[in-house]
Every structure is written in C-alpha cells, then in structure tokens.
Amino acid sequence: MKHTPGPWKVSNSLRHIGKRSVQSIVGDCDGVTSVVVCDMPLEYEPTHAAYPKMMADAYLISCAPDLLSALKAIMDDNADRCGDDGNYFLGYHENICIYCQARAAIAKAEGK
Ligand SMILES: [Zn+2]
C-alpha cells in the first residue's frame, strides 16, 4: 500500500460540496496535477474559537508524508534500539519507549 506522493499541502482555496465548504489537503499526483487527499468539512467560521484547531489539524495532516519519511530515516539508523534504560518514554504512551512508538507509528501509517 502506497500513499499519494508528497508533498501534501493545505489548499489555498476552499472547495464547495453541495452547501458545505471544505478545506482540502492536496497531494502531488504527477508533478502537475494535485489530487485531493482528504477534505475537512468546515464546521466553524474563521472567527469561531475552534477554527484555529481545525486548521492546525489540516497542517498536521498535510505534513504526514514528510513526518513518515523523516521518521523512517531516523529508524533506519536505530532499527534495533529500544529505550529500555528508561530515558525514552514520552508522549501519549508513557509506558512505551519512543523507538517502539516510532515503529508502531510507521506500521500504522503503512496500514500494517
Ligand atoms: Zn522500546
């Protein structure tokens, strides 16, 4: 399984599907044509307090190929590492070391 090639970006303009406005994340299809990777329905007006969080989600999604590529490169150099000395336990899963979290994130991103 291979995702739409990067780079992905948050579209500069809104799309309209029926009466809804959506913020699209677009990827690179062939170097010329952008393809829609995902559409985020605009639940909020730009003045709503939740709007910045929605846009932050859009930017996070748009850098997924970059994050995956970088994480895979890091893990290529650390394939056998595990933070079993206790110094590498961070983030959402405090009981799982960052190397094991990275391996799990790569597997999740690759649908494994
Ligand atoms: Zn580990």
**Domain match, 92 and 55 both:** no
**Domain match, 56 and 29 both:** yes
**Domain match, 51 and 82 both:** no
**Domain match, 44 and 11 both:** yes
**Domain match, 93 and 55 both:** no
Please give the distance, rounded to the nearest whole angstrom, from the Cα atom of residue 110 to the centre of ligand 1.
Answer: 19
Strand partners, 26: 9, 36
Q: What global pTM score does this model have?
A: 0.81
Q: Of 32, 14, 33, 30, which is closest to residue 22 (Cα–Cα)?
A: 14
Please give the distance, rounded to the nearest whole angstrom, from the Cα atom of residue 100 to the centre of ligand 1.
Answer: 4
**Domain match, 30 and 75 both:** no
Structure tokens at 9: 């970006």
Structure tokens at 17: 């599907």
**Domain match, 78 and 105 both:** yes
> Helix (H, G, I), strand (E, B), or coil: what is residue 94?
coil
pLDDT tens for the 112 residues of the chain, in order: 788 888 899 988 888 888 888 889 999 777 777 889 999 888 777 788 888 888 899 999 999 999 999 999 999 999 988 876 666 666 666 678 888 889 999 999 999 9
Which amino acid, one-letter code, is at 62?
S
Please give the distance, rounded to the nearest whole angstrom, from the Cα atom of residue 98 to the centre of ligand 1.
Answer: 6
- pLDDT of res. 15: 83
**Number of domains making up the chain:** 2
Range of the domain at 13: 1-62
